[in-house]
Amino acid sequence: MEPMTDEWEDRLEERVLAPTRASGRLWAIWVASLALIIIWGFVAYVYQWREGLYVTDMRDRISWGIYIAAFIFFTGISMAGTVISAILRVSNASWRTPIVRIAEAITAVGLVCGGLFIIVDMGHPERLYHFWINGNWQSPLMWDMMAITTYLTASVMYLYVPMIPDLAMFRDRLGDKVSWLQSWLYRTMAIGWNNNESQRKSLHRTVGILMVVIIPVAAVVHTVVSWIFAMTTRASWDSTIFGLFFVAGAIFSGVATLIIVLAVLRRVYHLEEYITLTHFKYLAYIMASMALVMIYSNVTEYLVPGYKMSEHEEFAFRQLFVEEFAKLYWFYVLGGLILPILIVSYKKTRTVGAFVVAAVFVNIGMFIERYLIVVAGMRIPLLSYEPSNYSPTWVEWSVVASGIAGFMMLLTLFAKFFPILAVWEMKEERAEETPSEPVVDPVDEPEPELEVAR
Amino acid sequence: MRRISSLQVARLAVILLVLAAFIRALVVGPVAVPVVIALLGAMVYLPMRLRRSFAEASDAASPGAVGISRRDAMKRLGLGGAAAVVPLAGLPAIASGSPPTQGEAPAVGPSGRIRQWGMLIDLRKCDGCQSQGTPPQCTLACIEGHLAPEPMEWIEVFEAEMSGGGTQFLPTPCQQCQNPPCVNVCPVTATFSSPEGVVLIDQDRCIGCRMCMAACPYDRRFFNWGEPAVPPEALLADYSFDHQVGAPKGTVLKCDFCPDMARAGSLPMCVQACPNDAIYYGDLEEDIATNGSAVVTFSDFMADNNSYRLKEELGTQPRVHYIPGHGEDVGRDRHTEGRLPTKWPWLERVKGAVTWSR
């Protein structure tokens, strides 16, 4: 392919390079406030480390709380990259091209944040090395550790490898205009990419392998996370649908997070030309259909044991539907499941703003859902004792807030220093489709040949 | 001949060092060490390889250069892609499964087989110590014997409704399951079944993830949420898996079934303390049990009195059996409800100690 330089490409490169230039006061305030929240959460964690988990409201009978909920939530949203990027890449849906990079970044960042919550929840995190020397194959937590670290390396590679050509573009265009450290970073990470035929074929091949491998890995991760609960004998956890349910929930909240992050980055970095309403629509369609899957899973999860209504199940339903957790539960159902479907159903509400509102509700709803799985599940008494209660303390809220801030911070820094659009893929696609005209709506175009299949 | 640069020498030295460490660990150390070394090596090597194949690929593309073929570069990169999907954690569980060990050998019965400790609680004789006017004596004795911090009742006396009205008392120690859910889920083998059939915990290995607490269907595991309130003598007690004292912060504790006392010929604290002789303890292998005043044939006594186990349907196979009842043998009226709350006898606490509720 001849190296093409035209106005469209210049504009694209300029857009992607723009974030690396001066960022303005608002950006600095944003980063500073995130940093403050992170530091505050860190202080809270140090306090917890010194005092013991006593400073949380977790106790023997509800021995997991909001940390574990946050762990599931963050590993859940890390599904975004896999769904959008790998699944759509495999199925050759070309509209995904401008949004894959951001989705992949969410995956890697979400996993890092999620993994940290397991550590935060532990009584003796300094003994983690026993996983290596005394690991127990039988334990679902060991499966989790294996699955998540596998997923982490895979998703970091899957973020990095398709980014190489764009890093090379950064290296060439920014080389001496940025600090030596940044310039060194691009030079090192571009590992000698000079965009020749042979390198491109190698790259396509590597990406092809990675994307095929990462899909089953992601499915395994979210299934295994559910098995931490499903492998116990507790009523409401002891369920065969949990694996599927968690995978669906992960796609659901992953896509919702992607919608929010895309909307923010599009606004901040003026990517309207590349990330269009069409993208949001398609993502919202995925989100709404996952909401239907969630409703289906919920009905199955509750109706099957509920029909028999054993003693523990009755307690579980009572606290969920009418008593302690009713407000949270119905917020999740109405705000997290019904609302996104309604918003997507009406033509009038198919706007970016409305989709973002729906996505925010979905994320809050899904966090609540994770929280209810953990806390409501543990609250069911195992023997004749009064059920205990749990409400997170300031330490727990601080650490969770710091985790969320950390997620935003990592994404902010990623957007600042790395190419947020898959420039080379967009160029290639455009060259293949209609070299002379700008792409208006890639979806209406005939499907291009699958890049990676060659 | 090509000149060898100092960088190459350094690289060779590093490779040799890693190789030496690898071989040494393979021969003497635990299996995990060479695995970790190999994986770290792979993580350093792969990006280098990737980088080199790019460099070579660009050489090959330029006219006249004699480099590796494109197919070769592709293969390497593809391999790199697949190999990138390795667990960061390595393959830890290769070295898995060995429970902690310590000096004391398991007790052996007259038949030459290892003793299998079991317990039988006769609920007909348990009135929750209503007749004594005290909190349940078994719980108190256990707390004093193990210096268990507040609010841990390793043997807890629950009061359960009966189907025909009234209540029964249910002293509940760790059920010592033979198919223990807690042992199955422990990621670091910190809790394990001993040869005597007792589920124990290694306080020095427990990472405090509380997976076992989620898995236990009997609510019989306790976490040390903070610096526990225990008397100063707890610091002097000798800790072993068989005798859980000293309660370190951030780990899980539970009833240890007192196998050390049984081996030495005395009964567990709860058995000794029961004023109504309701608790029997013995060896299922020799088929003998005692409550301190009578000796019974374990299996016959269980069969004759229609003993049962808690949540039998879960398949956990507990070693604690119950004879149904509500204290009728010691004259309790089933409608007299309530047991006195347990109090922890020591007032002085270690500095910075805290208490919490369950």
The pLDDT score that the predictor gives to residue A454 is 38
Per-residue pLDDT tens digits for B76-120? 555 555 555 555 544 444 445 577 777 678 889 888 999 999 999
Q: Specify which of A192-196, A379-383, B69-73, B88-92 reaches the highest per-range mean pLDDT.
A: A379-383
Q: How far is B274 from chain A (nearest CA, A)?
A: 22
The pLDDT score that the predictor gives to residue A335 is 95
d(CA A311, CA A321): 16
B236 SS3 class: coil
* CB distance A214 to A90 below 8 Å: no
B227 contacts chain A (CB < 8 A): yes
Q: Is the pLDDT of residue B74 over 60?
A: no
CATH of the domain at B165: 3.30.70.20
- What is the span of the domain harbouring residue B230? 117-330
Residue type at position A423:
V
Q: Residue A227: closest CA among chain B residues belongs to which residue? A: B185
Does residue B100 fall inside a structural domain?
no
B358 contacts chain A (CB < 8 A): yes
Does residue B256 fall inside a structural domain?
yes
B215's CB contacts (< 8 A; 6+ apart) are A231, A232, A233, B181, B182, B184, B185
B81 contacts chain A (CB < 8 A): yes
Mean pLDDT rounded to a whole number for chain B: 83
Q: What is the ipTM of this complex?
A: 0.87
Asked whether residue B218 falls in the same domain as residue B265, the answer is yes
Pick the last residue of a domain from B32, B61, B95.
B95
CB A53 to CB B207 under 8 A?
no
Per-residue pLDDT tens digits for A181-221? 888 889 888 888 888 888 888 888 888 888 888 888 899 99
Q: What percent of chain A has pLDDT over 70?
A: 94
**Of A71-75, A273-277, B15-19, B311-315, where does mean pLDDT reach its minimum?**
B15-19
Does residue B104 fall inside a structural domain?
no
Which of B35, B45, B88, B191 should we substitute to test contact with A (largest number of A Cβ atoms within 10 Å)? B88
Residue A114's pLDDT band (boundaries 50, 70, 90)? very high
Chain B partners within 8 Å of A136 (Cβ) = 93, 96-97, 186-189
Q: Is the pLDDT of residue A92 over 60?
A: yes
Asked whether residue B82 falls in the same domain as residue B147, the answer is no
Mean pLDDT computed over B21-47? 62
B42 exposed, middle or buried (CB, 10 Å; 0-12, 13-18, 19+)? middle
Nearest to A52 among B93, B218, B227 (CB): B227
Asked whether residue B234 falls in the same domain as residue B293, the answer is yes
The pLDDT score that the predictor gives to residue B93 is 41
Q: Identify the sign of the CA torsion A69, A72, A78, A84.
A: negative
Asked whether residue B175 falls in the same domain as residue B307, the answer is yes
Per-residue pLDDT tens digits for B151-193? 899 999 999 999 999 999 999 999 999 999 999 999 999 999 9
Per-residue pLDDT tens digits for A44-79? 999 999 999 999 999 999 999 999 999 999 999 998
Decide which of B42 and B68 is more confident.
Answer: B42
Mean pLDDT rounded to a whole number for chain A: 89
A87 contacts chain B (CB < 8 A): no
Per DSSP bridges, beta strands B117-122 and B279-283 are antiparallel
The pLDDT score that the predictor gives to residue B86 is 56
Asked whether residue B43 falls in the same domain as residue B158, the answer is no
A259's CB contacts (< 8 A; 6+ apart) are A280, A283, A284, A287, A355, A356, A358, A359
Residue A132's pLDDT band (boundaries 50, 70, 90)? confident
Decide which of B26 and B102 is more confident.
Answer: B102
Residue type at position A13:
E
Provide the β-strand partners of residue B193.
B199
* Counted domains in chain B: 2
Q: Is the pLDDT of residue B67 over 70?
A: no
Asked whether residue B44 falls in the same domain as residue B184, the answer is no
Asked whether residue B162 falls in the same domain as residue B20, the answer is no
Per-residue pLDDT tens digits for B242-286? 888 867 889 999 999 999 999 999 999 999 999 999 999 999 999
Pick the last residue of a domain from B95, B127, B156.
B95
The pLDDT score that the predictor gives to residue B325 is 96
Q: Is the pLDDT of residue A89 over 50?
A: yes
The pLDDT score that the predictor gives to residue A327 is 96
Asked whether residue B213 falls in the same domain as residue B308, the answer is yes
Asked whether residue B49 falls in the same domain as residue B193, the answer is no
Nearest to A53 among B207, B218, B250 (CB): B250
Per DSSP bridges, beta strands B117-122 and B320-323 are parallel
Asked whether residue B91 falls in the same domain as residue B197, the answer is no
A51 contacts chain B (CB < 8 A): yes
Chain A partners within 8 Å of B252 (Cβ) = 123
Q: Is the pLDDT of residue B71 over 60?
A: no
Per-residue pLDDT tens digits for A407-440? 999 999 999 999 999 988 888 888 877 655 554 5
Q: How far is A65 from chain B (nearest CA, A)?
A: 11
B114 SS3 class: strand
Does residue B340 fall inside a structural domain?
no
* Alpha-carbon Rg for chain B in angstroms: 30
Does residue B106 fall inside a structural domain?
no
Q: Residue A127: closest CA among chain B residues belongs to which residue? A: B207
The pLDDT score that the predictor gives to residue B63 is 43
Asked whether residue B13 falls in the same domain as residue B156, the answer is no
